[in-house]
Amino acid sequence: GIRGRGYPADTLYRYHYFLQRAEQLEMHTDVVFYMDVDLDVGESVTPEEVSPTESRPLVAVRHPLQNHGGTPEIRPSSRAFIPPSLPRPCYVAGGFVGGRTPEFLGMSREIARGIDEDDDGEVVAVWHDESHLNRFFSSNTALFRVLPPSYLYPETWNISYGARITVRRIPHGDNRFATESFAAVCGWVRGGACE
């Protein structure tokens, strides 16, 4: 099993946890998905609508609370830093990501390596594993099938697109994350991976 390490380690090291099971995943799965525990998948979501494709072996969801480029890591001291030379067609969420097993594990290895290098430099990326995911996405945009934010629809929001997978509001105790609220305008990115 996986021993809880507390926040933010439990989320930051998720790609390390996937790699602990790499051999079993390689032997027994064609496709791997990670979904946060607070997600509620509607009955009408089909495997075909969220699965990777031949040309886009990885799947991510455009973040519903981030406008266009989102809030990536801006400190060059972090391996999650996205230099201006890399494309940023959108910002993807860490709560629902997947892909064909070989590509998913390859992504996991690269993200885990970046986190380990940050650890060596005593740096924690601004949005933890999600910052590293966005760095990988920016370097490998063509590998991703990007789903619209309706696949991570915040439960308490009334947004103009319909919910396919709902993010349920779960109380997290007496900390800043329990009372924090987010506001952002979501816009479509035309002509790119996030269309």
Binding-site residue set: 36-38, 71, 130
DSSP state of 30: S
Read off the amino acid at residue 161: Y
How many residues appear in the chain?
A: 195
Rounded CA-CA distance 184/70 in Å is: 9
The helix/strand count (H/E) of the chain reads as 7, 7
Specify the 3-state DSSP secondary structure of 135: helix
Q: Evaluate whether 81 touches 135 at the Cβ level (below 8 Å).
A: yes
**Known catalytic residue at 130:** yes
Catalytic residue among 26, 48, 130, 195: 130
The residue type found at 136 is: F
Q: Is residue 62 classed as helix, strand or coil in its secondary structure? A: strand
CA atoms within 13 A on the CB side of 25: 20
Amino acid at 159: I
Give me the active site residues, please.
Answer: 130
